[in-house]
Amino acid sequence: MRTALSIAGSDSSGGAGIQADIKTMTANGVFAMTAVTALTAQNTTGVSGIMEVTPAFLAEQLDRVFEDIFPDAVKIGMVSSAALIEAIADKLTEYKAKNIVLDPVMVATSGARLISEEAIDTLKKRLIPLAEVITPNIPEAEVLAGTEIRSADDMEKAAEQIFAEYGCAVLLKGGHQLNDANDLLVGRGVKKWFEGKRIDNPNTHGTGCTLSSAIASNLAKGYALDEAVERAKRYISGALAAMLDLGHGSGPMDHAFAIDNEFTAERKN
Ligand SMILES: Nc1ncnc2c1ncn2[C@@H]1O[C@H](COP(=O)(O)OP(=O)(O)O)[C@@H](O)[C@H]1O
Ligand SMILES: Cc1ncc(COP(=O)(O)OP(=O)(O)O)c(N)n1
């Protein structure tokens, strides 16, 4: 069975973070492992508290995973401090981790800041260059490219600039901000739009986590990057279209829709 590792924060409400990653990887027929960066106390209406693990304990979790079951892909989500980012970069380099998908999580849709200002610099210098692909939304891409994004044209310029500067492929997500759900992939020899029909569902908690862990699952299964993204887009569209409605705010998606369908069917031994 193919395996994937999620390095991310825990979301007590189960819609985003580590919990979304485990659900997504499992529904995609991949064995999920985790290294927790922080506990968050949150629900569908917001984040009330964050408790980070120590960098040494994060490194210890990574050691135990890599020395035993080497992951076929790694997804990185919420990492709130520079010291934690350093610990991850050191370990991923030491173990020569492959198929790294980095979601540069900065601010939750509910408005909570999930990374410190100073850590963004370390993310740029240490972690982004290790990634096969990064998956910023528009505000995150604006921070990475240092430009405003107001149109599809702006998305193309920003994605090309990020690819040129950091050397990793970029999937720039149009999702929350522009009217359609079209995402743009720019990488070595590839520039491709992935068109998504906007689904009229206010419950989008964890969409970024789900998309990035679906991409990591597909890379773990051996798909090329553009096919991995195509399949991940289909997965998230299905999870949104299932129209789960839980909680008092922006609720989570339904991963059960994928059980016994094309995503799990391809489990490889
Ligand atoms: N209402 C929606 N309908 C269809 N796809 C969506 C919708 N909202 C987000 N997406 C898709 O979900 C994925 C995650 O994007 P986004 O929600 O922008 O991430 P983030 O949670 O990081 O802000 C992208 O592929 C985006 O196009
Ligand atoms: C623990 C944790 N990690 C990440 C997020 C943000 O999730 P994401 O899917 O990027 O976006 P929204 O859920 O905010 O749409 C989180 N909330 N918690």
Report pLDDT digits (tens) over 157-187. 999 999 999 999 999 998 666 667 899 999 9
- Ligand 2 atom closest to 9 (CA): 1
Distances 262 to 67, 199, 267 between C-alpha atoms, Å: 32, 21, 10
The C-alpha angle with vertex 232 and arms to 228 and 236, in degrees rounded to 5, equals 175
Percent of the chain with pLDDT over 70: 94
* Options 23, 173, 221, 233, the catalytic residue: 173
pLDDT in tens, 112-137: 888 888 899 999 999 999 999 999 99
For residue 259, pLDDT over 80 is answered with no
pLDDT in tens, 13-59: 999 999 999 999 999 999 999 999 999 999 999 999 999 999 999 99
Q: Measured in angstroms, how far is the CA atom of residue 54 from the centroid of ligand 1?
A: 31
> 125 an active-site residue?
no
Give the residue, by CA position, lying nearest to ligand 1 atom 10: 175
The superfamily in CATH containing domain 3-264 is Ribokinase (3.40.1190.20)
Pairing relation of β-strands 73-76 and 100-102?
parallel
Give the residue, by CA position, lying nearest to ligand 2 atom 7: 206
Phi and psi (nearest 5°) for 38? Answer: -165, 155
Instruction: Determine contact, residues 239/47, Cβ cutoff 8 Å.
Output: no
Give the position of tokens 């509910």: 110
Which of 105, 165, 187, 101 minimizes the C-alpha distance to 140?
Answer: 105
Calpha distance 67→88 (Å, rounded):
15
| Sign of CA pseudo-dihedral 162, 79, 237, 259 | positive
Question: How many separate helices (H) and strands (E) can be counted in the chain?
Answer: 9, 9
> 206 an active-site residue?
yes
C-alpha torsion angle, residues 145, 152, 17, 269 (rounded to 10): -110
- Name the residue ranges covered by the structural domains of the chain: 3-264
DSSP state, 73? Answer: E
Q: Measured in angstroms, how far is the CA atom of residue 10 from the centroid of ligand 2?
A: 10
